[in-house]
Homo-oligomer: A and B are copies of this chain.
Amino acid sequence: MRHNPDLIRTLLSVANALADAARLRTLQHFRAPDLQVDDKGVRAFDPVTAADRAAEEEMRRILAERRPEDAVLGEEGGATTGSSGLTWILDPVDGTRGFLAGTPTWGVLIAVADANGPFIGLIDQPYIGERFVGSPIGATFTGPRGPARLRTRPPRPLPSATLFTTYPEVGTAEEGAAFRRVASAARLTRYGMDCYAYALVAAGHVDLVIEAALAPHDIAAPIAVIEAAGGVVTDWSGGSAAGGGQVIAAANPGIHREALALLAG
């Protein structure tokens, strides 16, 4: 283990405090009354931007107090340097389009990375009240029916597998074609879930998520959650996914290998 269990437990406690704060701030704006339109016909208020900013500000305030020596990389507020070698990676509303449309599959993403990449991750869905957490000391889930095991699916062949991506076009024409090679071999392909699809891989309901053009803050938390639950997350060449871009998340090494081969063409 790269870090001692006491440090891991401290970081998990802070991560949960950040998620609790972000839950309140984002829910204040989720499904809020209709957007105000000013007299020039311009949208005067953007609820997702308001939720994003309020949640990230509050998370940065807590980190400044409890982890002042750690660096912070946030979707809204950019990078704050640190001296501990640890970086908190925050995406206060992943799935902003879904948030705007009222769907309950956006999420708050919180991760801690060291030089080797993310090793603590938390995916929170505030409206449903679900939290998926992974670290070197385990993978846990809490939801409306209480806590449950967080464990990826056992191996199954690709023709029996369920595959997710957010946008049907995936990315460039070439990326879309690579995705469709995997999709045409899979049993079921579904769209539109943003970070929630990665949570479903960690929880053992979905075999694969394949996306392109991700930002580092989109994938840091899913990497740590899925790896702690027994899965594999890489880029489309099998290398680290921590930089974002083309990402594949798989329930187990077998289906990861099978999908990577099809992505390569």
Residue ranges of A at the interface with B (Cβ–Cβ < 8 Å)? 27, 31, 34, 97-98, 100-105, 127-129, 144-145, 153-154, 162, 164, 168, 188, 190-193, 196, 200, 203-206
A101 touching B205 in the complex, CB below 8 Å, given contacts A154-B34, A192-B193, A193-B192: yes
Chain B hits for A204, CB < 8 A? 34
| CA gap between A193 and B196 in the complex, in Å | 13
CB of A164 within 8 A of CB of B31, answer no
Q: How far is the CA of A145 from the CA of B186 in the complex (A)?
A: 38
User: Which B-chain residue is minimally distant from A203 (CB atoms)?
Assistant: B102
Using A34-B153, A127-B128, A204-B34 as known contacts, say yes or no to A188 and B144 having CB atoms under 8 A apart: no
Chain B residue at smallest Cβ distance from A97: B188
Judging by beta carbons under 8 Å apart, are B101 and A128 in contact? no
Query: B102–A105 contact, CB under 8 A?
Result: no
B-chain residues with CB within 8 Å of residue A31 when the two chains form the complex? 203, 205
CB-based closest 5 A-B pairs: A102-B205, A192-B192, A168-B168, A191-B191, A191-B192
Given contacts A34-B153, A105-B104, A105-B105, is CB(A98)–CB(B190) below 8 Å?
A: yes
